[in-house]
Amino acid sequence: MSEKKNTGRRAFMRAAAAAALGGGVWLAATPSSGAWVWQIDPRKCTQCGQCATHCVLNPSAVKCVHATRICGYCDLCSGYLQPNAPALDTGAENELCPTAAIKRSFVEDPYFAYSIDETLCVGCGKCVKGCAQFGNGSLYLQIKRDLCVNCNECSIARDCPSHAIERIPLSRAYILKYDDDSKGTE
Amino acid sequence: MVPDWVWAALAIAVVSVALALFVTDSPERPGDALVYDVSEYEAVDAEDIRYRETLRVALELENPAALAVDNNGHILIAGEGALLVLDEAGGELARREIEGRPYCAAVAPDGVIYLGMRDHVAACSPEGDVLAAWDMLNERAWLTSIVADENHVFVADSGNARVYVYDHSGTRHTVIGERDPEQGLHGFVVPSHYFEVALDTTGALWATNPGKLGLEKYREDGALLGAWHQPGFDIDKFPGCCNPVHIAFKSDGALVAAEKGINRVKVFAADRSFEGVVAAPELLNAGWKTADFPDDMTPVRDIAVDGNDRVLVLHGPLRSLLIFEHINK
Ligand code: SF4
Ligand code: SF4
Ligand code: SF4
C-alpha cells in the first residue's frame, strides 16, 4: 500500500517536474506569450529613423501617434510640411511624410487638424522630429501592440541610440506623450 | 602531416575574416528620405555674425525665466522664488525672495517692477518688495511677456492669446486680439507658450503673432496699425512655428529676435532688412544636451537690450546671462 502510494507520489513529482520544465521551455520558446511588451518612451526617443529600418516587420510595427490635446492645429504644421515648403498646402512637393500618411483637414481659418493613416506610416519619425523641433511635439512614435510580434529581443531596441525602448508589463497602458505645457523648466 | 604554420595561418585567416565581418556588419541606416534634416538652414555664414559675446554671468537662480533692464542700466532677472538685480558687469547688487515663479518681468520708467506670474501681475517696488498683486485672470491664463511705459502696462497672455492693456494701478482698459471672423480678424494664433510684447523706440506697441511668424503693431486702444509676417527657413525669415519667441528693440529701432527650432538670435534693421546674427545655433546649443531639458523648446528664456545697445540673452539650460556687443568693423 505504502509502496503504491510512494510510486504514485514519485509519478506525480515526475509529471510535475516535466510539466514545469516543459512549461519553462515552452515559455522560453514563445516569448510572445504576452506578459511583457516592448514600448517606446517618447521622452527619450530622438527620432533617429531606425524604427523604420530595424524592425523585423516590414513595414515596421512602430507608427506615428498624435496627441491631439497638445497640438496647435497650425496651418504651417512643421510635422506636415517640408522645411521651406513652397506653399502651405497639400501639394505633394510640400508634404514632409515620405508615404503621405498624414492627413490634413480644415477646421476654421487658420486652423487644421492632422491625423495619421497607420496603414501608410512606416515609423520613420520624420514628422515627429519636425513637430518636436518647431512645434508642440504632439506627434510621437510608438510600437503598436496589435502589430508587434513581441520578439524576445526587439531588434530596434538593440540598436536604439537613445535607449528609448523598454519592456513593460502588458497590463500597463501605452506610454503616451506627456502633456507638459510649461514654457521651460529644469 | 600538415605543418603547424599552416594551422596557425589558417587560424589567423579565420579570426581575421570573423573580425572583418563583425566590424563591417553595421545594420541598415535609414536613407535620406526618412531623415528630418534642417542642418542647411542652421548653418550661419561667419560674415553674418555681427555680434560677439563679451560677458557670461553664471546665475545662482532656479529656473531663470524673466529678464529686464531698468533706467539705471541695472539688469533684473527673475526665477523660481527669487529676483536678482545685477550691475552692468553682472555683479550681484541685490537679491529678493519672491513667492512663486515669474515668467516675465518689466521695469516702468518710474522704477516699479512688474512681474508676470502665471495668472496675474505682481507690482513690486524698485527694491523688489511686492506692492500689489493684481486681479487673477482665468485658469487658462499664462503670462509670457510684459512691458511698461509711463502710463500703461502691456501683458501678453499665451493661454488666452490676448494682450491686456492696464494702467499702473492694475485697472484693465483694453483687450487686444479678440477674434472677429466677419472682419477677417483671426486674432493672435498662439500654439505654444511663446507670445511676446515689446515697445519700440517711438513707444509703439509690438506683439508677436507666433502662428503667423511675425509681429504686429497696435495702438493702446487695440487698433491694428501694421503687420510684418516673415514665414520661411531662410536666415531673413522666421521658420517653423511660434517664431520669433522673444523680441526686443535697440535704440535705433532695430529689432532683436530670438527663435526656437533653429536656436538663434538675430537682428533686423529699423526698415526690417536683415542685419545680422547675434548668437548662432552653434553658440547657443553648446554646453548642454537637449535630452537633459526635454521641456525646453529653446534654451533662450528671454532677451533684452540695455542702454548701451548690448543684447542680453538669458540661457536657461546653462543658467547664465550671455551679453553680446556689436562688432564694429
Ligand atoms: S530607434 Fe530609438 S531613437 Fe530611433 S526612432 Fe526608434 S525609438 Fe526613437
Ligand atoms: S513621416 Fe514617417 S513617422 Fe511620420 S507619418 Fe509619415 S511615415 Fe509615419
Ligand atoms: S519587438 Fe520585433 S516586431 Fe516589435 S517593434 Fe521590436 S523588432 Fe518590431
Number of domains in chain A: 2
Is A111 found in the same domain as A46? yes
**Is residue B44 a contact partner of residue B282, using CB atoms and an 8 Å limit?**
yes
Q: Collect all residues with Cβ–Cβ distance below 8 Å to A61 and sequence separation of at least 6.
A: A55, A123, A143, A144, A147, A148, A149
For the sheet with B255-259, list strands across it.
B246-249, B255-259, B264-268, B274-279
Q: What is the pLDDT of residue B4?
A: 82
* CB contacts, 8 Å: A83 with chain B: 38, 41, 233, 239-240
Does position A182 have pLDDT exceeding 50, yes or no? no
Q: Distance (Å, rounded) from C-alpha B264 to C-alpha B278?
A: 8
Q: Distance (Å, rounded) from C-alpha B319 to C-alpha B329?
A: 31
Residue B77 backbone phi and psi in degrees, to 5: -130, 125
- For domain B38-326, give its CATH number from 2.120.10.30, 2.60.120.10, 2.102.10.10, 3.20.20.60: 2.120.10.30
Q: State chain B's mean pLDDT as an integer.
A: 92
Q: Judging by beta carbons within 10 Å of its beta carbon (0-12, 13-18, 19+), is residue B260 exposed, middle or buried?
A: buried
Q: What is the pLDDT of residue B248?
A: 98
Contact A75/B211, CB-based, under 8 Å?
yes
Q: What is the pLDDT of residues B6-44, one digit of tens each?
A: 788 787 887 777 676 665 555 567 888 888 989 999 999
Q: What is the pLDDT of residue A172?
A: 85
% of chain B with per-residue pLDDT over 70:
96
Of A72, A77, A180, the CB nearest to B295: A180
Interchain CB contact of B3 with A (< 8 Å): no
Q: What is the pLDDT of residues A113-162, one digit of tens each?
A: 999 999 999 999 999 999 999 998 999 999 999 999 999 999 999 999 99
Interchain CB contact of B293 with A (< 8 Å): yes
Is A91 found in the same domain as A59? yes
Interchain CB contact of B194 with A (< 8 Å): yes
Interchain CB contact of B154 with A (< 8 Å): no
Q: What is the ipTM of this complex?
A: 0.80
| Rounded distance from Cα A94 to ligand 2 centre (Å) | 14
* Domain ranges (residues) in chain B: 38-326
Q: State chain A's mean pLDDT as an integer.
A: 81
**Is residue A83 a contact partner of residue B233, using CB atoms and an 8 Å limit?**
yes
**Is residue B256 a contact partner of residue B326, using CB atoms and an 8 Å limit?**
no
The answer to whether the predicted template modeling score (pTM) of the entire model surpasses 0.90 is no
Contact B34/A108, CB-based, under 8 Å?
no
Is there an atom of ligand 2 within 6 Å of A124 CB? yes
Q: What is the pLDDT of residue B292?
A: 83
Is A134 found in the same domain as A73? yes
Does position B281 have pLDDT exceeding 50, yes or no? yes
Q: Which residues line ligand 1 (CB under 6 A)?
A: A 40, 45-48, 50-51, 125, 141, 156, 160-162, 164-165
Q: What is the pLDDT of residue A70?
A: 87
* CB contacts, 8 Å: A96 with chain B: 36
Is A35 found in the same domain as A21? no
Report the pLDDT averaged over residues B160-172.
Answer: 97
Does position A18 have pLDDT exceeding 70, yes or no? no
Does position B126 have pLDDT exceeding 70, yes or no? yes
Is A126 found in the same domain as A64? yes
Is A72 found in the same domain as A14? no
DSSP structure class, residue B223: -
Ligand that lies nearest to the alpha carbon of residue A47, given by its number in the listed order: 1
Is A97 found in the same domain as A49? yes
Report the pLDDT averaged over residues B69-86.
Answer: 96
Is A134 found in the same domain as A68? yes
**Is residue B223 a contact partner of residue B174, using CB atoms and an 8 Å limit?**
no
Residue A14 lies in a domain: yes
Q: What is the pLDDT of residue B29?
A: 74
Is there an atom of ligand 2 within 6 Å of A77 CB? no
Report the pLDDT averaged over residues B287-297.
Answer: 84
> Which grid cell sits at B185?
480678424
CA A89 to chain centre: 28
Q: What is the pLDDT of residue A177?
A: 75
- Highest average pLDDT, of B21-25, B72-76, B180-184, comes from B72-76
Q: What is the pLDDT of residue B235?
A: 95
**Is residue B278 a contact partner of residue B265, using CB atoms and an 8 Å limit?**
yes
Higher pLDDT, B208 or A29: B208
Of B241, B243, B295, the CB nearest to A184: B295
Is A167 found in the same domain as A107? yes
Higher pLDDT, A179 or B118: B118
User: Domain span at residue A17?
Assistant: 1-30
Contact A136/B191, CB-based, under 8 Å?
yes
First to last CA, chain A: 75
Q: Distance (Å, rounded) from C-alpha A20 to C-alpha A2?
A: 26
Residue A95 backbone phi and psi in degrees, to 5: -75, 140
Does position A186 have pLDDT exceeding 50, yes or no? no
Residue B160 backbone phi and psi in degrees, to 5: -105, -5
